[in-house]
Structure 1
Amino acid sequence: MESLSYVDMSNNSFDATDVPTWFSTLPSLTTLVLEYLRIRGQIPTTLFSFPPLQTARLRNNKFNGTLNIGTEYSSQLELVDVQDNNIEQFTLGGGYKNQLKLAGNPFCEQSGNDEQ
């Protein structure tokens, strides 16, 4: 699995589960699409640090806790889409300025800003 670069497991009828640990075993990952899967738990900060990662589309799950992009994110990272989850806090480190979609999370509703 070390050479796997594109993963799309969206719209499957898996049982609700915690964040998969195999995230950290895919060093060649450029695109991760895990939409509508009922994955729960906190998104690991290390996910965003894989050097080739360009896109993380994680919308419509049950991710919760704090979304932390961190300071060691991939320089290739163009899109983080975590819309419609249960993210309660958000920490942005290192000046990430690319697309970040947060709408539909408690964090946005609490801050009064439910935009993308």
Structure 2
Amino acid sequence: MGHSVIKVYSRHRKFGGYTSLGCWRDSDTRAIPILEGTDSLLDGDYQSRHHAIQKCYQVALSRGFPMFSVQDGGQCFGSADGLNTYNRYGPTTTCAEDGEGGAWGNEVYKITG
């Protein structure tokens, strides 16, 4: 008898210093406060920002936040209580595979170190 290999994929991906909690819907009344323009790492057009996830992580980490999120190709969000609010509007499938969220979709990351 042969053996089968089943691959299981999860949106809970791990990276150095943070883990993805998946893709979550946003609204005009934001689930997580926006951080754009609050740090020199987050200046300019977020959709053309290089290393958007890493830069958002660095800003959130420097403020002692336990989480951050990236939306719409690089827009950065984060807060001290974001782990309690990120899922306010439920899950969505609008996030791109690059981890930089999607239209009204936050790719949410928990900071692990």
TM-score, length-normalised on structure 1?
A: 0.29
Name which structure has the greater RCO, CA cutoff 8 Å, separation 6+.
2
Greater fraction of residues in helix: 2
Greater fraction of residues in strand: 1
Please say which structure displays the higher CA radius of gyration: 2
TM-score, length-normalised on structure 2?
A: 0.29
